[in-house]
Amino acid sequence: MQTGKISKITVLQVATLNRPIRPDIGYGPIEKVIYNIDKGLHCLEHRSIVACSGDSMVIGEKYVTVEKSFSEYWSEDTPEQRNNLQRHLLKALKRARIGDIDIVHLHDPVMVKYIYEGLLTSPVPIVITLHVPAEDHLPFKRWSETLTPYSEVYFVPISEYQKKEHLCLGNLMDVIHHGVDLDNYPSKNESCKESYLFTVSRITQVKGQDKAIEVAKKTGSKLIIAVNVQNKLNDKAFFKDLKNSIDLCVDAGKRPADNDYYEKVMKPLLDSDKQIIYIGEVNREQKKLWYLHALATLFPIQWGEPFGLVMIESMACGTPILAFNKGSVPEIVIDGKTGFIVNSLGAMIEAVKHINSIDPCICRRHVQNNFSMISMAQKYSELYQWILDNSVIMNYPAARAAAAAK
């Protein structure tokens, strides 16, 4: 994909509704990406509009479609939620029809279902970021097989690993890795000796919290577990079993991440004689402090992770990664430089002994060079421009009018 000069582009991101789009949420990987794209486009002086819930907080223009997000990251599929999602999409695409929008950017696979079924159409090209695993993308595959010049859609994989899983999709674009705003991440200059191991994600067997506990016990390390527990029967059952291996459960998310957070919340836990400590779900500012003071962040995944924001967030703070060699891990972590990529639990246990050999400054520099918010936004803007340069809808007024009239 080659682009010429990039003009100022107006992008309408259609946000997910699971949680609000804002910088201070705890668990919300897709919401964080939407926020960072919005901020990055704004920094590059593009016009960024986010169609979102009223409890969201964005950098660009906020276009409210529903009053509140669903609050739960995952919940039962109810008629009320389906109606809210359809209302959200209808209002967003109505906004797109005003005539000042160049690109609509979607992030939710459920939204594709409505478009595929002909309930909704877009007057401008659509970019869809493929956030979730391939098995969850049946609507994308079905829709891509029926693409016409009047329903231009372009799929963006978030890793080379994920792209290989989606080779059957039409209009599959180059990979655009996620990025973080490094200005918001504190960083250390030397490793934290005699500190703790950290793991953060949602609670589920494929994220491997049970493996993290085993690594901690076999190495005699303290382990801090920060997780979001979704309302899923399998996840709740897994968490119930996991509690038998946890020495202390506390809520570290209650107190704001102010100047006293380390002394009042973190230090008492780190000084305690409890080894395996569950701290609940923490927000972005609290999580950064847990990253910052950790010896390493464990990423013992049991599946093909499409990306893994945890890895770049941790490395942005100078904290190395210990991860299994699955999914996108080899694209994100440099083995022996920003952490260790291993193939077995025994190798991960052994790698803990060598984690102090990793230079925190190299970890941060790696994120700065490859996974920054601005780099991500620049790649999206280049993609938008290429689409606009090659779009039937955008370059032929009659075609655009026909699409807008649908």
- Global confidence as pTM: 0.92
319 within 8 A of 363, measured Cβ to Cβ: yes
Strand partners, 196: 222
- In the chain, the percentage of residues whose pLDDT exceeds 70 is 87
Higher pLDDT, 75 or 180: 180
**Measured between alpha carbons, how far is 270 from 287 in angstroms, rounded to an integer?**
15
How do residues 378-389 score in pLDDT, each as one tens digit?
A: 999 999 999 999
How do residues 281-336 score in pLDDT, each as one tens digit?
A: 999 999 999 999 999 999 999 999 999 999 999 999 999 999 999 999 999 999 99
- Report the amino acid identity of residue 396: Y
Residue 9 CB neighbour total at 10 angstroms:
20
Per-residue DSSP letter, 53:
E
Domains, the chain, with CATH or none? 10-179+372-397 (3.40.50.2000), 182-369 (3.40.50.2000)
**Measured between alpha carbons, how far is 239 from 204 in angstroms, rounded to an integer?**
8
Q: Residue 117: its pLDDT value, please?
A: 63
Q: Residue 376: its pLDDT value, please?
A: 98
**Measured between alpha carbons, how far is 321 from 363 in angstroms, rounded to an integer?**
9
Q: Which of 22, 17, 26, 52 is nearest to 39 (CA)?
A: 22
User: Which 3-state string (H, E, C) describes 140-200?
Assistant: HHHHHCCCCCCCCEEEEECCHHHHHHCCCCCCECCCCCCCECHHHCCCCCCCCCCCEEEEE
User: Tokens for 132?
Assistant: 């979730």
How do residues 124-174 score in pLDDT, each as one tens digit?
A: 899 999 987 766 556 666 666 666 555 588 889 999 999 998 887 778 899
**Measured between alpha carbons, how far is 267 from 72 in angstroms, rounded to an integer?**
30
Q: Report the DSSP pairing between strands 248-249 and 276-280.
A: parallel
